[in-house]
Structure 1
Amino acid sequence: MRTQPPIFPAETTFRGPGGEELQLHLPEPAAVEVTDAGMEWRLTILRGATDPAELARVRAELDTARSTIEAQGLGITSCDQELRRREDGLQSKDAKIASLRAQVKTELAAGYLNGKWHDQPDGYSPAGCYRWLRGVQTKVGWHSVIWNPWNTPKHSFLGWIWVHDALKTKSKLLQFGVTDDADCMLCGLGIETQEHLFFDCPYSRRVIHAINQVMGGILATHDMLERSMQHPGSQVQKRVLYALLVCLVYQIWQQRNRYRVDMQVLRPEKLSSLIMQEIRARIRSRDLTLVKQDDVDWLHSLNLL
């Protein structure tokens, strides 16, 4: 008669020569071989443990399991090797973290003394520390366009990808070997680069024209980002322009992706109407109590309030 495998106080899987299984759990990816009268059983752990407390709990359960096996007169090969490997890994990680902390403290101390933060009128400040840690950064002109507080956040995110020329247009996908051609999906008349897709494509130009009819020609017809940054209007007018620009980029990109999946797009006039609805909703959600009356009148004249 075949000897049944021991009952462990945990859950994992025992498999015997005949395919017998007993479900138990011991969350540690190790193997334990249990032998009784030449009959071998293999214990396979189902999930891993990396937390020190979890490892301690697993070790306690394995000790209990070993006692159970020994009480039944069985032999067991140790799974301590896997536990030790994981514990050594944790100790190595702890050592690296401690080393990095010491390094940061040393660098911060040097930055405090060499940067003479304590000699500043306001003394030491977390902002000064952060600027020192970040190092010298190049100031970009488009930050006020992309991170305009009147932008819808998802529009700003896509706009940030756009200004870095990182959108996966077909001209880029062709270089990666993902597509067979680089024709614009909205018009089929040019190479689908970011410049063509958003500003030179006949579809996009019709959208821009429709918006300009409502907004009094606020959008430039070329070099749109640069011209937007140089707009001479008030702060409110600039914020409306910036929100309109990133919304335009977002919605045209959406239509491009929609055509890729569904082979259909909105009519340019319909899309321009949708963009204006989003801009109105965004402006009306803002607190305008501090906005000058001239700017309020301007918003009313464009039916944005």
Structure 2
Amino acid sequence: MLFSHPSDEKKSLGLKNDLLWNKAAVGKLVWWIHAKPDHLWVKWINHIYLKGKTWQNYSPPNDSSWYWRKICQVKFLLADAYNHDEWVDQKGREYTIKKGYEFLRTKGDKIEWMNLVWTNWSIPKHSMLSWFYHHNSLNTKEKLHKLGISENDTCIICENGTENNEHLFFQCEYSTAMLDIISSWVRVHLPSRDLLTWRLNMQGSSLQQDVINAIINATMYHVWRQRNLSKFELKLLTRKAVARDIVEEIKSRMRGMKLTKAGDGDRRWLELLTDRK
């Protein structure tokens, strides 16, 4: 299959556009015709289709096969990326599907918080909850009350404030106490106010930043889970018990990660974090 049906790119979800990726993959065939005259398939293309014509200015006849017309369509899409048969983003003539995809896709404004959510160190369900939070898609009581579904908008956990995103995760006494416990474990102060700004300006190596972001995502996930337990099962675990679960989850995640590119400083930091209770 040369082309697939396009899929809508979810804003900041980290998914590739499958249609453009497919076109970029077809671009590999376009580049082969440019750069690999001794390739058997390219020889066959030259004998059957090109017949001595230059590839750069070639247009397929109307009665040519469907797959050949699609290859030629991609050639025209990528035409501006070639300069005298050389791929413009490369020092040499080498074409890669990734580079082709980057050339074809429309580059919108960068979502500043995307890298805080989608890190290799975050457990996927934690990242997904964080993604919903940043899109204001969680059904908090404030939102349900405005829709007429909830009788009030009071925080279920502390019963002291409006249950919206900011209150539930960063102002509720339950969540702030849990952040304090997690802060003492990681030995980094995680401020409950302006946490997004703090995360965007966080100091330390990229690995340390990813781990701390994974910890924050895990904390948000468990706060939301406890909120739902309070609402639907009328029970709430202690902050220490939930914090302990968060620490064990992150430790388990760290033990399963490959550290082939980690420096000695990062390795020592992770070892200390894993041993610390």
Give yes or no for TM over 0.5: yes
Give me the whole-angstrom Cα distance separating, in 1, the residues matched to 2:69 and 2:194: 46
Give me the whole-angstrom Cα distance separating, in 2, the residues matched to 1:171 and 1:161: 16
Count of aligned positions: 205
Give me the whole-angstrom Cα distance separating, in 1, the residues matched to 2:73 and 2:159: 56
Give me the whole-angstrom Cα distance separating, in 1, the residues matched to 2:153 and 2:73: 49
Q: TM-score, normalised by structure 2?
A: 0.66
Q: CA offset at residue 108 of structure 1? A: 4.1
Unaligned runs of 5+ in 1: 1-100
1:113 and 2:79 correspond: yes
Q: Quick check: which one's strand share is greater?
A: 1
Give me the whole-angstrom Cα distance separating, in 2, the residues matched to 1:104 and 1:170: 51
- Which one of 228, 232, 236 corresponds to residue 261 of structure 1? 232
Offset from partner CA, 1:143-175 (integer Å, 9 cap, x none): 221111111111111111112221111111122
Give me the whole-angstrom Cα distance separating, in 2, the residues matched to 1:194 and 1:287: 34
Secondary structure of 2:78's partner? helix
Give me the whole-angstrom Cα distance separating, in 1, the residues matched to 2:171 and 2:69: 52
Offset from partner CA, 1:214-236 (integer Å, 9 cap, x none): 22234223211221221111222
- Kindly provide the amino acid, as one letter, of the partner of residue 178 in structure 2: V
Q: Which has the higher contact order (CA 8 A, sep 6+)?
A: 2
1:212 and 2:178 correspond: no
Give me the whole-angstrom Cα distance separating, in 2, the residues matched to 1:130 and 1:104: 16
Aligned to 1:142: 113
- CA shift in 2, pair 1:104/1:297, >3 Å: same
- Which one of 136, 139, 154 corresponds to residue 168 of structure 1? 139
Aligned to 1:92: none
- Contact 1:169–1:193 (CA under 8 A) maintained in structure 2: yes
Q: TM-score, normalised by structure 1?
A: 0.60
Q: CA offset at residue 107 of structure 1? A: 6.7
Identical residues among aligned pairs (%): 29
Aligned to 1:189: 160
Q: CA offset at residue 195 of structure 1? A: 0.8
Q: CA offset at residue 303 of structure 1? A: 3.6
1:284 and 2:255 correspond: yes
Unaligned runs of 5+ in 2: 1-66
Aligned alpha-carbon RMSD (Å): 2.6
Secondary structure of 1:302's partner? helix
Q: CA offset at residue 142 of structure 1? A: 1.7
- CA shift in 2, pair 1:221/1:208, >3 Å: same
Aligned to 1:43: none
- Kindly provide the amino acid, as one letter, of the partner of residue 260 in structure 1: K
Q: CA offset at residue 179 of structure 1? A: 1.1
Give me the whole-angstrom Cα distance separating, in 1, the residues matched to 2:200 and 2:167: 20
Give me the whole-angstrom Cα distance separating, in 2, the residues matched to 1:128 and 1:300: 37
- Contact 1:111–1:132 (CA under 8 A) maintained in structure 2: no
Aligned to 1:44: none
